[in-house]
RNA sequence: GGCCCCGUAGUCUAGCGGCCUAGGACAUUAGCUUCUCAUGCUAAGGACACGAGUUCAAAUCUCGUCGGGGUCACCA
């Protein structure tokens, strides 16, 4: 039974990279009739941000990537919050100490800082000097009795080649001598990520670990821990990094488009974001680029995941999002727009009428109002100076008054006839009309818009002062 | 700096020794459609980082150089 997981930390608003990872966890699990679960990695008390846990659930729900087990809904492997599993980690850390695969370290922060400083001065790699690794049992006991603060470190073997067969990266080798004696239990008794992740993934019977490439360098530590415990190592798949659009570094919070929130507020569709994210690093043999989640579950082949980091391209996301909008049922788009502008109280019937006019003109929901505001209130200013065109509009007014059946076709007919009569080029004629009606040089089709606005309102807008 | 990963157009990629005159998509430019914009359709420009080697043949294999990224915490 395939089991995948997302293990976020409650440290703030979800990052788009988290969703990217969840996408592959979720899809892989679904594809193999497995389960996708969530575990909260809240072992860093210093970085804890209240409320983040809820926001994570909301985000996952928005994308439709709900876990089948989580801290909120529970499950057979509970608890799912690491802060509630402390005794478990303690137990396993003790086990490691007994097996001599870990040891107490009483070094002070000051000593470690100094040591690192010296190492750097000598251009050496900053690594723990294993000072406490060979402490005698007596001394250890004495320190423990005297309540000297300690951490527990893993005892990395001297000369061992650690081989990882990554589902995405392939075979990667590490030499154990380049690996630090990592802290696994902190002075506050909490485990570090490295211990907690290994223990929990094993206990929760996780079979496949998908995560960002930034984790690759710490994976040998995890492999070592699995070996210490004599546990089966789950499959690993290190996903290509998503880079900032300028290519400088991984997608970071410096850029607002790293946050899920950003897309929500701009009216991107979650299904389009997911499609874009999948397409960013994964290639469909048939060259298909547009596929929804269910289709992706059918098509996905892990072997086709790329190996380079990919820059996040907002323009392409816009393109994908535009396609999803164009393919949407009018009623659905109407609902989405109403929901997006729910605090504006737009009249739903009018919005529905405007949908056919704007469906192929907007790329995201937030494009709607800038394009359509004139339907709901008369323009307060014009993008073109109309001061010397009063007479012209008066003539149009007279002409349009005669139109009794206020329908697109008849409005257009009347307008074109007038243009001909006045010997004004259509382009000029309609541009002036467009500006007086909508206030802007760019708008949905004019005749259709005028029908929706209704005769009385249009005539009113033709009178300017 | 050590370790690890990676190098095809501005961006994401296809390519697995001859089918490559290097294919597709976004973006860009031009044209058509047209009352603006958008959609749609058509077309154009634009790439194998560099250098050696292996081979009858290299984007593709090897080595080196250069470049990019990740990571080196009692953070995850």
Q: Is residue A345 part of a domain?
A: yes
Question: Which helix (H) or strand (E) is A10 found in, with range?
Answer: none
Distance A173 CA to B64 C1' (A): 22
Q: Does the CB of A173 sit below 7 A from strand B?
A: yes
Domain range enclosing A133: 86-194
Q: Is residue A207 part of a domain?
A: no
Nucleotide nearest to A125 (CA to C1'): B2
pLDDT in tens, A306-344: 989 999 999 999 999 999 999 999 999 999 999 999 999
DSSP character string of A209-252: EEEEGGGGGGHHHHHHHHHHHT-PPPEEEEEPPEEPTTSSSB--
How many structural domains compose chain A? Answer: 3
Residues A418, A454, single domain; the answer is: yes
Domain with residue A166: its CATH number is: 3.90.800.10
pLDDT in tens, A237-265: 999 999 999 888 898 876 778 899 999 99
pLDDT on residue A248: 85
Question: Which helix (H) or strand (E) is A174 found in, with range?
Answer: strand A170-175
Distance A307 CA to B53 C1' (A): 27
Q: Is residue A230 part of a domain?
A: no
Residues A350, A410, single domain; the answer is: no
- Quick one: angle between helices A446-453 and A408-422, nearest 10? 120
pLDDT on residue A73: 97
ipTM value for the complex: 0.95
Distance A184 CA to B74 C1' (A): 9
Q: Is residue A161 part of a domain?
A: yes
Distances (CA, A) of A419 to A407, A414, A423: 18, 9, 6
What average pLDDT does this structure show over A14-36?
97
Q: Is residue A208 part of a domain?
A: no
Residues A323, A393, single domain; the answer is: no
Exposed / middle / buried, residue A163 (Cβ in 10 Å: 0-12, 13-18, 19+) = exposed
Q: Is residue A177 part of a domain?
A: yes
Could you give the angle at the alpha carbon of A209 between the alpha carbons of A208 and A211, nearest 5°?
150
Residues A421, A458, single domain; the answer is: yes
Catalytic residues of A: 253
Domain with residue A439: its CATH number is: 1.10.10.350
Interatomic CA distance for residues A222 and A185, integer angstroms: 14
Positions of chain B reached by protein Cβ under 7 A: 1-8, 10-15, 23-27, 35-39, 68-76
Q: Is residue A437 part of a domain?
A: yes
Domain with residue A279: its CATH number is: 1.10.1160.10
Distance A241 CA to B63 C1' (A): 28
Share of chain A above pLDDT 70, in %: 100
Assess whether pLDDT exceeds 80 at residue A199.
yes
pLDDT on residue A256: 72
Task: Classify A7 as helix, strand or coil.
Answer: coil
Q: Is residue A19 part of a domain?
A: no
User: Which A residues 230-269 have CB within 7 Å of strand B?
Assistant: 240-241, 243, 247-250
Q: Does the CB of A214 sit below 7 A from strand B?
A: yes
If pLDDT is split at 50, 70 and 90, which confidence band does A121 have? confident
Residues A105, A179, single domain; the answer is: yes
- Mean pLDDT, chain A, whole residue set: 95
Boundary residue ending a domain (A173, A194, A215): A194
Boundary residue ending a domain (A172, A194, A216): A194
Q: Does the CB of A174 sit below 7 A from strand B?
A: yes
If pLDDT is split at 50, 70 and 90, which confidence band does A294 have? very high
Q: Does the CB of A229 sit below 7 A from strand B?
A: no
Main-chain dihedrals φ then ψ at residue A174, nearest 5 degrees: -130, 145
Interatomic CA distance for residues A22 and A260, integer angstroms: 13
If pLDDT is split at 50, 70 and 90, which confidence band does A205 have? very high
Distance A53 CA to B72 C1' (A): 30
Residues A99, A176, single domain; the answer is: yes
């Amino acid at each position: 039974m395939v089991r995948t997981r997302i293990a976020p930390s409650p440290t703030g608003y979800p990052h788009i990279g988290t969703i990217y990872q969840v996408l592959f966890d979720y899809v892989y699990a679904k594809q193999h009739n497995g389960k996708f679960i969530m575990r909260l990695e809240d072992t860093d008390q210093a970085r804890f941000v209240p409320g983040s846990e809820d926001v994570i659930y909301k985000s996952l729900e928005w994308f439709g990537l709900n876990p089948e087990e989580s801290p909120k809904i529970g499950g057979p492997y509970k608890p799912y919050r690491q802060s509630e599993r402390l005794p478990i980690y303690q137990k396993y850390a003790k086990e490691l100490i007994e097996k001599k695969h870990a040891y107490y370290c009483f070094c002070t922060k000051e000593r470690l800082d100094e040591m690192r400083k010296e190492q750097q001065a000598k251009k050496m790699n900053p690594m723990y000097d294993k000072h406490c690794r060979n402490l005698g049992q007596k001394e250890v006991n004495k320190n423990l009795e005297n309540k000297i603060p300690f951490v527990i470190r893993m005892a990395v073997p001297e000369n061992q080649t650690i081989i990882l067969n990554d589902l995405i990266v392939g075979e990667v080798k590490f030499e154990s001598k380049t690996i630090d004696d990592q802290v696994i239990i902190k002075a506050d008794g909490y485990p570090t990520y490295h211990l907690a992740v290994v223990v929990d993934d094993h206990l929760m019977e996780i079979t496949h670990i998908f995560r960002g490439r930034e984790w690759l360098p710490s994976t040998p530590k995890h492999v070592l821990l699995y070996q210490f415990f004599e546990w089966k190592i789950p499959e690993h798949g290190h996903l290509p990094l998503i880079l900032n659009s300028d290519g400088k570094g991984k997608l970071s919070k410096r850029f607002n488009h790293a946050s899920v929130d950003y897309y929500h507020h701009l009216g991107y569709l979650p299904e389009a974001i997911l499609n874009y994210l999948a397409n960013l690093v994964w290639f469909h043999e048939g060259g298909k680029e547009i596929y929804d989640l269910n289709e992706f579950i059918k098509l996905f082949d892990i072997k086709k995941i790329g190996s380079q980091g990919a820059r996040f391209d907002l323009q392409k996301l816009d393109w994908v999002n535009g396609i999803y909008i164009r393919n949407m049922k009018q009623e659905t788009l109407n609902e989405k727009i109403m929901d997006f502008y729910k605090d504006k109280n737009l009249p739903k019937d009018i919005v529905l009428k405007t949908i056919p006019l704007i469906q192929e003109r907007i790329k995201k929901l937030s494009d709607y109002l800038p394009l359509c505001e004139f339907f709901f209130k008369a323009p307060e200013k014009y993008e073109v100076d109309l001061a010397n065109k009063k007479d012209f509009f008066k003539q149009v007014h007279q002409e349009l008054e005669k139109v009794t059946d206020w329908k697109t076709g008849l409005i257009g007919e009347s307008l074109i006839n007038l243009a001909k009569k006045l010997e004004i080029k259509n382009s000029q004629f309609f541009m002036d009309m467009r500006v007086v009606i909508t206030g802007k040089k760019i708008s949905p089709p004019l005749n259709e818009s005028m029908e929706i606005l209704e005769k009385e309102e249009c005539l009113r807008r033709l009178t300017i002062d």
